[in-house]
Structure 1
């Protein structure tokens, strides 16, 4: 490894540089922020604050934790606008902390537990390996590719399925409402997990029917059992690399393409293209990061993807290349109020 030897010698002791130094140190401790979020989620701190503010001592009694240490964790989270401490030492929920509550619509607690689990944490510790080799760190750390590992570990699979369902739920109704689905026809939710998005689409559009395609363990815990959807959907276990159900008017790939490298993504899109009914559309629902320096959740997800799997978050030009190879053509991108966008493509 070559060590650069720059000729410029900036004065890093200058007073104006101190703010940058403080920022760098804080960012280097970012792993502690994830650990603090996980602690809050595990001990249901947001749930205990749902009825009103409590001190760290009160929360410690409710959670079986040490008050002094819990307060230090809460103070750190409050500095990031997760909880707020008042002048009397009581902690309040913030808008962000509301999403840590369990069992409420839109809860992200299970997603936080997934993203802060050792599956992600230990893989991210191998980021240097990923950058040096161009391969994910997960197989090096855990001994198997990510999805193969999930097939052999029921607890990890449950964590992933539950976490992804929570991660996706806030987006499901937004997609169902933002995209102009046809009045009639069939929507195929490719790799749709438990069917949260398909459920929202079918509830909003009573003239549509649906197919939920995924592996059997995810389908077993589907959320499509309510009476309003009776007779309007079917579950189909399968491999979206090989084929997808034929004749769909809309094929939806939500948080699917970003799991895979370009070659695999083209195979998935090509399967959808072969099954597509005349005049049909393919929708890719993924993060589409901004090309500039502006913060965007997709940029963090992109790094997570390369440490876990071979996928990535793609911009419009990247997607256009994939679409062209699969016989598709991008027609528009519809943003949503969340981190993801709806990218529409039709037969080329």
Structure 2
């Protein structure tokens, strides 16, 4: 017979702190899974650590211990035979999965040195990324294509996942023309146009990004319904749409730049047009919310910030827009509707 002694209540806080302070958590385990391409190796069926060790150039016991830990966070499962197989969640770490997050995890690995020096941002509220890599993130990505590829692939994966969530959780019915401002490689708009075949679209981003978007749109068979336009949204935004999208764009920018971007959207909008901000909204109170952690990450990496609903509303008002409503998407993101004032 096994008995379990429960810790006294006064020890609960200490135990929580011990667990939270451990340096190796779920994030690093996922990064190791991607580093050793566990999802691709287990994609053909269950394997033992010994069977995978030679392929991965790892020690069988070391790999088994990693797989056991990954099973503990739901990435794989261990059978009685000692073989490991992927869970449905774990399959998404394979770069070839249609809803892959392989590159998203790779991007987080790239940020590890930045997070190590995060105190820089707390002391000076300057992005630590610049101190570590010697230049702001977007300049660095433009000058270092190997990192740029990781970043843009990660953002494309995020947009594909969020596009599916938005297409099912928000009603885009009746929309005729969508401009996705800062639309990256077109992943988000691709999902929406496939779900709403009556709509047309425009992907608008920097010229070097637009070239990639053009390839994706053509590969999806949407070239006749979706244009790709290169430009700078801090200078202008294409006119002629009844719906404008800004997904995960505003939080990259200071308040002054955010207002400039919103004003450019307002200038492009017709009186009946609608603007959707797809952003994290920081709620009041002390309860945990992912947006509060993401806000610190934005400060460290981009020099950006997450905002409360009232802060979003203030920016909209200053740009000549009026707040409509919010619709919950998938934590931590919400859809904020805005209209010409």
- Decide: shared fold, TM above 0.5: yes
1:37 maps to which residue?
30
Q: Does 1:229 align with 2:222?
A: yes
Q: 1:232 to 1:308 in 2, by over 3 A?
A: same
State the 1:96 CA deviation. Answer: 2.9
| CA distance in structure 2 between the partners assigned to 1:134 and 1:342 by the alignment | 28
2:241 maps to which residue?
248
**Secondary structure, in 3 states, of the residue corresponding to 2:218?**
coil
Q: 1:260 to 1:226 in 2, by over 3 A?
A: same
**Secondary structure, in 3 states, of the residue corresponding to 2:127?**
coil
Please, which moves more after superposition, 306-315 or 268-277? 306-315
2:305 maps to which residue?
312
State the 1:207 CA deviation. Answer: 2.9
Q: Does 1:215 align with 2:236?
A: no
State the 1:273 CA deviation. Answer: 0.6
1:330/1:346 contact within 8 Å kept: yes
2:3 maps to which residue?
none
TM-score calculated relative to the size of structure 2: 0.90
| CA distance in structure 2 between the partners assigned to 1:227 and 1:108 by the alignment | 19
| CA distance in structure 1 between the partners assigned to 2:285 and 2:77 by the alignment | 32
State the 1:325 CA deviation. Answer: 1.0
**Secondary structure, in 3 states, of the residue corresponding to 1:210?**
strand
1:193 equivalent among 173, 180, 184: 184
TM-score calculated relative to the size of structure 1: 0.88
State the 1:184 CA deviation. Answer: 5.1
1:133 equivalent among 124, 134, 149: 124
Aligned length, in residue pairs: 333
1:327 maps to which residue?
320
2:146 equivalent among 135, 155, 160: 155
Q: Does 1:111 align with 2:115?
A: no
Structure 2, gaps ≥5 residues long? 1-6
**Secondary structure, in 3 states, of the residue corresponding to 1:225?**
helix
Root mean square deviation of aligned Cα? 2.2
**Secondary structure, in 3 states, of the residue corresponding to 1:173?**
helix
Matches within 5 A, 1:1-348: 16-31=9-24, 33-117=26-110, 120-181=111-172, 183=174, 185-222=176-213, 223-226=216-219, 228-337=221-330, 339-348=332-341
Q: Deviations over 1:219-276 (max 9, x none)?
A: 2222111474232222111111111112221110011111112111111111101110
Structure 1, gaps ≥5 residues long? 1-13
Q: Deviations over 1:170-203 (max 9, x none)?
A: 1112223433335353211100000111112222
| CA distance in structure 1 between the partners assigned to 2:249 and 2:192 by the alignment | 18
Please, which moves more after superposition, 186-195 or 220-229? 220-229
State the 1:114 CA deviation. Answer: 0.8
| CA distance in structure 2 between the partners assigned to 1:292 and 1:71 by the alignment | 42
Q: Deviations over 1:276-317 (max 9, x none)?
A: 012101111122244344444333322211101121222312
Q: 1:150 to 1:76 in 2, by over 3 A?
A: same
Q: 1:202 to 1:39 in 2, by over 3 A?
A: same
